[in-house]
Amino acid sequence: MPESVDVKRFAQVEALAVEVFENRAAAISWLTSPNIALGGKSPHSLCSTDLGATQVRRLLRCIEYGGVV
């Protein structure tokens, strides 16, 4: 898969994280930190695949709407 696809996928997830956290620094911190809801992996590391990015987007939507993770 071309690197540009990975960059675009991460940029989309990053934009959603900034929207959810309403703060770029907080979003980047969340994206790069291990997350128990993602099996201890960082959201950033999962964004290398479509499936992983989908999981991260779902988690962000849960955070945004106060849903159960």
Give me the half-sphere count of Cα atoms (radius 13 Å) on the Cβ side of residue 7: 3
Taking each helix axis from N to C end, the angle separating 24-32 and 3-21, rounded to the nearest 10 degrees, works out to 120
Model confidence pLDDT, tens digit, residues 5-27: 789 999 999 999 999 999 999 99
9 φ/ψ angles, rounded to the nearest 5 degrees: -60, -45
Model confidence pLDDT, tens digit, residues 18-63: 999 999 999 999 999 999 999 999 999 999 999 999 999 999 999 9
* Eight-class DSSP state of 7: H
Domain-by-domain residue ranges, the chain?
Answer: 3-63
Q: What is the pTM of this model?
A: 0.87
